[in-house]
A and B are shown apart, each in its own frame.
Chain A
């Protein structure tokens, strides 16, 4: 790792870029499969069967991860670019968000 890149904002940029690329690769395939519902339902059923395989199920976690990372990365950028907050205010906002997530997440786990 080159010295000038070794800091959180740069990693946040890279994470956002990579998750975006990952989603961009996923989306065309996603639409293609959805379109099968109209053009070739039998093929779709076959595919959905395959999608139940454990490995594919596992890959779904990756997808959700990409989505979450990209979504929050986008919110981060919007906050950074459009809200003239001080570093302290940003830390508080991020902390509040993370806290809310933790609490609501644990309730969600209880419900499931």
Chain B
């Protein structure tokens, strides 16, 4: 860490599922520090009962997402200088998920929806079959690859107003996973996935607000994936009619 200059005014959400409030602290400001550093400083220096999640600190595990000055972000790779507003930071748990304590949300609904969207792999062959060759350049593979770097941080889910309005909606991450699966030639039942995501709470719920793509820390395009699902399911309807 470099020279200490000044202090930041940092308000951190404290509470549980029922109630809570912001608590404000003065935290030393450094030239280089992430929002996660700031949260850790408070936990280590001021209040050891502050609860938050992180693991990798390098943007791979997806566990450290929080709402920073009103915007969902991965805190381990968010520089304080980039998000500071008038020398202040407001740090809160992610939207659209139940709060367990302080900055920690219950991610179960998020992951349950991955399963509900058909995100689990269904094999199309057994270990005794020869391995099917799939060109990395093929269109399906390229499309599947585009979504595969998702780290499940739930930033898109927290940014989505359609999720807030309809708790049943699968949300951008699960739908992007479904689009990846639909484009994976080795998946056993791609039509079943398309049927699932076109049912109630599926891709046709999306209002194309694009907050998911806007805020994805990995620069993925969940909105594009959902649009792909919309086209694929619409095409399916026309095909079946014929």
Residue of A nearest to B227 (CB): A81
Asked if B91 CB lies within 8 Å of chain A CBs, one says no
Inter-chain CB contacts under 8 Å: number: 48
Asked if residues A4 and B70 are in contact (CB atoms below 8 Å), the reply is yes
- A:75-93 near B, CB below 8 Å: 77, 80-82, 84
The residues of A that contact B207 with a CB separation of less than 8 Å are: 13
From B70, B158, B209, B228, contact of A13 by CB (8 A): B209
Interchain nearest-CB distance for B73 vs A (Å): 9
Q: Which of A1-49 contact B (CB under 8 A)?
A: 2-7, 9-10, 13
- Chain A interface SS verdict (over half): helix
Q: B51 at the A/B interface (Cβ < 8 Å)?
A: no
Asked whether, in the complex, the Cβ of A9 is within 8 Å of the Cβ of B159, the reply is no
Interface secondary structure of B, over-half rule: helix
Are A2's CB and B210's CB within 8 A?
no
- Let me know if B208 and A77 touch, CB within 8 A: yes
Contact of B152 with A by CB under 8 A: no
Q: Which of A3, A82, A84 contacts B70 (CB 8 A)?
A: A3
- Report whether B161 and A7 are in contact in the complex, using a CB–CB cutoff of 8 Å: no
**In the bound complex, how far is the Cα of B234 from the Cα of A81, in angstroms?**
10
Closest to A17 in B: B207
Chain A hits for B234, CB < 8 A: 82
Name B residues whose Cβ lies closer than 8 Å to a Cβ of A.
69-72, 95, 158-159, 161, 207-211, 214-215, 223, 227-228, 230-231, 234
Query: Besides A81-B230, A82-B231, 11 other CB < 8 A contacts?
Result: A4-B158, A5-B161, A5-B209, A6-B71, A9-B210, A9-B223, A10-B210, A80-B208, A81-B227, A81-B231, A82-B234
